[in-house]
Chain A
Amino acid sequence: AQKITQTQPGMFVQEKEAVTLDCTYDTSDQSYGLFWYKQPSSGEMIFLIYQGSYDEQNATEGRYSLNFQKARKSANLVISASQLGDSAMYFCAMRGPYRTQGAQKLVFGQGTRLTINP
């Protein structure tokens, strides 16, 4: 079974600082995918970034980057130059191997509430 663990219930960061949100995962599959989503207070889950288990490079999308350490089974999200609008819940999620039942659903962690202080 797949499991995602996010150990930081809350994080407080000063505006313009970089922040790292931790995510560790557990799976026996060799092929899997890791996602990060942002959930503002409005409720919508916003896709941020994706990392495949066979991707050799760490994924980057604008101010977001994913620090993927496969041997340690961690996929931490790094947000550079944080902004007030980054305040939200952040969820790490994984899917199973492509073309299996596990690929069709996301397993989410419990989330980290990020607060950016001015």
Chain B
Amino acid sequence: DTGVSQDPRHKITKRGQNVTFRCDPISEHNRLYWYRQTLGQGPEFLTYFQNEAQLEKSRLLSDRFSAERPKGSFSTLEIQRTEQGDSAMYLCASSLYSPPLANQPQHFGDGTRLSIL
């Protein structure tokens, strides 16, 4: 049983560049989540998908951020015109939503650490 996979593990880029991260969830999981974690803080919710539908976006997700999950499997998170404040760990998680089973935990990947120079 493979876990959640994120690529790349680290990304260093100059301010103003665009970056894209990929997340491959656990294969049978239909929900996929993106979180952002800054140094010394807990993760903060950004957005989530059920299958290919993006069902909620946090107000933290500015217009420069876009996430997709085109076929309901892997997801990409793109940040355009990166800023210094975008430096953070970007975590992806997945879970199985299967009513009436509730409370399925979210399983996280290792994250992508973004550093903006």
Contact = CB atoms under 8 A, between A and B. Distances in A.
Interface of A: 4, 33, 35, 37, 42-47, 50, 52, 91, 93, 98, 101, 103-111
Scoring A45, A46, A101 by chain B CB atoms within 10 A of each residue's CB, the highest score goes to A45
A70 to B, nearest CB: 16
B105 A47 contact: yes
Interface of B: 31, 33, 35, 40-45, 48, 55-56, 58, 89, 91, 93, 102-103, 105-111, 113
A37 B108 contact: yes
Contact of B105 (A4, A50, A109): A50
A91 B36 CA distance: 14
Contact of A44 (B35, B42, B45, B109): B109
B42 A43 contact: no
Given A104-B56, A105-B56, A44 B43 contact: no
